[in-house]
Amino acid sequence: MRLSPYFPILDWIKTYRSETLINDGMAALIVTIMLIPQSLAYAMLAGLPPQIGLYASILPLIAYALFGTSRTLAVGPVAILSLMTAAAAGKIAPAGSEGYIEAALILAVLSGLFLMGLGLLRMGFLANFLSHPVISGFITASGVLIAASQLKHILGVSAHGHTLFEIIFSLITHLGDVNWPTLAIGAGALIFLFWMRGALKPLLAKLGMGEKLAAIITRAGPVFAVIASILLVAGLHLDGAGVKVLGAVPRDLPTLGLPRFDADLWMQLAGSAALISLIGFVESVSVAQTLAAKRRQRIDPNQELIGLGAASLSAGLSSGYPVTGGLARSAVNFDAGAQTPAAGVFTAIGIALATLFLTPYLYFLPQAVLAATIIVAVLSLVNIAEIFKVWRYSKADFAAMGATISVTLSFGVEIGVLTGVGLSLILHLYNTSKPHFAIVGQVPGTEHFRNIKRHDVLTQTKILTVRVDESLYFANARFLEETIYQLLAEQPQVKHFILMCPAVNRIDASGLESLEAINHRLKDAGVTLNLSEVKGPVMDGLKRTDFLDHLNGQVFLSQFEAVKTLEARV
């Protein structure tokens, strides 16, 4: 029985019915059709041969079905991880070379091991380091970068670069080489796909189609574009006119095996793999949580680490590259009625069959159409409204978000997300290192005490109460001392000082050190030090020390009681 949390499949396999099978099978069919062009497109975005994208959509899906906790998450290659893989592997070898493909494999293995390790150590909380504004800013900036990087396929020119500036500059210098048939196909595909996204769903609804079916058809836009463009290119022999096509894809299933072990190379890729893991995890978990909430199901973030880790690891062992749960694909899976992770297994079978039998028919698929599907997909990730919302709400959050966006666009994805994470941690510590504090008084007619600056409250001249609005920990220990000494220096008539602690959630060793110093100093100055509304867990900690024995004053359950008692003594 102890195995069950690590094998969520045991929870659902025993209640599996033929009805569930039909639902899962239907969803798998739709997701497979959608996933074929996606896999090819994302492999292209990652700078990898097309079959790598297909391989990343077979075994990883089965692994996730065994270990993942979401019933409806659709795992596979995604845009952001493809971009990050390209950035990391590009540091090792030129795109498409053997060393590059090997690096992508190693990234998948390392990222799988890293995620599984975190899961086994129950360290899913590490993903919390990525704050909402940082993630949102990173995804927006990556979306812009990816869209820009695909423009060369739409224009039919060769361009390169890892930053927005480099890409745009490179595109401009190559503008003279535009291949017009390619541009016609690419622009046509773009317009068609944007129309599918924006206008088709309301149209279908108007025609009386059910909402779910309309959503699925809308999302299947790329499939229509793929079929139409293949027919067009093959019919008009446009590949002879400079339109780059997918070409021959090997009709083999992936071979299993560990990538070559080279300690130096693996170490070089370890940092990138860790970043890929965390970004992929956060992206996937937020999708999985949203979908689970809709059906009142739950996911277990620590087990998700194991599930996604197993998926990436098996991608690395089967000639794939890093994968995670994708947003659009999971939504289609959900809408199409997937009930259990078995849908993922059926999808994997579908992709394997497609690899064996369908790829010859994709020979004439223009790269421009794949690029168009990528552009349309990633531009839906760009969220400008969110930037304005964060700006209005919190300048500190905006600073972290703005730094993430601008550094990602100007210097690349890895340094971008690291800057955002670093900055949000520093800002958080900065904020807590200078906590808000208030001198408080009694709200008349109540036992409630509030800030004298914001409320009309009653105070006493010989009793000073300060409510400090932060846990007392190393980052603000000195600040508290300074503040209290200064307040007491300004009000020499005070005989009783009360530190009101409803907001003190923790006192660490540095905070205790400060409290002891304050107690000592106040004793010298003839002022008592009292605490009120100290929480249970904080009090438990203080009781383990001798602080309370030496306390030059009392601890009161409530602030009201403290003032009543001390007033009687003045």
Sign of CA dihedral 306, 90, 247, 238: positive
> Closest Cα partner for 503 from 552, 469, 529?
469
Residue 477 is a binding residue for a copy of itself (CB under 8 A) = yes
Bridge partners, 467 (sequence order) = 438, 500
Q: Which is nearer to a copy of itself, 186 or 541 (CB)?
A: 541
451 Rama class: left (phi>0) / alpha (psi -120 to 50) / beta: beta
Residue 458 is a binding residue for a copy of itself (CB under 8 A) = no
Residue 505 is a binding residue for a copy of itself (CB under 8 A) = yes
In whole angstroms, give the CA distance from residue 371 to residue 156: 11
CB-CB neighbours of 120 under 10 Å: 13
Candidates 69-77, 90-98, 197-205, 434-442; binding stretch for a copy of itself (CB under 8 A): 434-442
Residue 566 is a binding residue for a copy of itself (CB under 8 A) = no
Q: Among residues 47, 68, 221, 435, which is the contact residue for a copy of itself, using CB under 8 A?
A: 435
Written in H, E and C, the secondary structure of 45-92 is HCCCCHHHHHHCCCHHHHHHHHHCCCCCCCEECCHHHHHHHHHHHHCC
Instruction: Name which of residues 162 to 201 contact a copy of itself (CB under 8 A).
Output: none
Q: How far apart are CB 447 and a copy of itself at their closest, in Å?
A: 4
Is 183:155 a contact under the CB 8 Å cutoff? Answer: yes
Q: Among residues 6, 224, 411, 560, which is the contact residue for a copy of itself, using CB under 8 A?
A: 560
Q: Among residues 2, 14, 206, 544, which is the contact residue for a copy of itself, using CB under 8 A?
A: 544
DSSP output for 469-482: -S-B-TTTHHHHHH
Give the torsion through C-alpha atoms of 455, 457, 460, 463, to 10 deg: -50
Q: Which is nearer to a copy of itself, 276 or 457 (CB)?
A: 457
Q: Which is nearer to a copy of itself, 243 or 438 (CB)?
A: 438
Q: Among residues 40, 103, 193, 475, which is the contact residue for a copy of itself, using CB under 8 A?
A: 475
Tokens of 341: 């992770």
Residue 302 is a binding residue for a copy of itself (CB under 8 A) = no
Q: How far apart are CB 273 and a copy of itself at their closest, in Å?
A: 19
Residue 450 is a binding residue for a copy of itself (CB under 8 A) = yes
Q: Which is nearer to a copy of itself, 24 or 470 (CB)?
A: 470
Q: Which is nearer to a copy of itself, 121 or 172 (CB)?
A: 121
Residue 267 is a binding residue for a copy of itself (CB under 8 A) = no
Taking each helix axis as running N to C, give the angle between helix 342-357 and helix 18-45, from 0 to 180 degrees, rounded to the nearest 10: 50
Place of tokens 């033929």: 18
Is 68:287 a contact under the CB 8 Å cutoff? Answer: no
Candidates 161-169, 204-212, 365-373, 451-459; binding stretch for a copy of itself (CB under 8 A): 451-459
Q: Which is nearer to a copy of itself, 215 or 390 (CB)?
A: 390
Q: Among residues 433, 459, 483, 519, which is the contact residue for a copy of itself, using CB under 8 A?
A: 433
Question: Residue 18 — φ and ψ, nearest 5°?
Answer: -65, -35
Candidates 95-103, 149-157, 265-273, 395-403; binding stretch for a copy of itself (CB under 8 A): 395-403
Instruction: Name which of residues 514 to 543 contact a copy of itself (CB under 8 A).
Output: 521, 533, 535-537, 541
Q: Among residues 128, 206, 261, 492, which is the contact residue for a copy of itself, using CB under 8 A?
A: 128
Place of tokens 């999985």: 288
> Closest Cα partner for 157 from 232, 244, 47, 94?
244
> Closest Cα partner for 85 from 63, 100, 64?
100
Question: Residue 463 — φ and ψ, nearest 5°?
Answer: -120, 125
State the number of binding residues for a copy of itself (CB under 8 A): 70
Residue 206 is a binding residue for a copy of itself (CB under 8 A) = no
Residue 393 is a binding residue for a copy of itself (CB under 8 A) = yes
Place of tokens 């199409």: 336
For binding to a copy of itself (CB under 8 A), which residues are involved?
125, 128-134, 289, 293, 301, 389-390, 392-394, 396-397, 401, 424-425, 428-436, 438, 443, 446-448, 450-451, 453-454, 469-471, 473-478, 502-506, 508-510, 512-513, 521, 533, 535-537, 541, 544-545, 557-558, 560-561
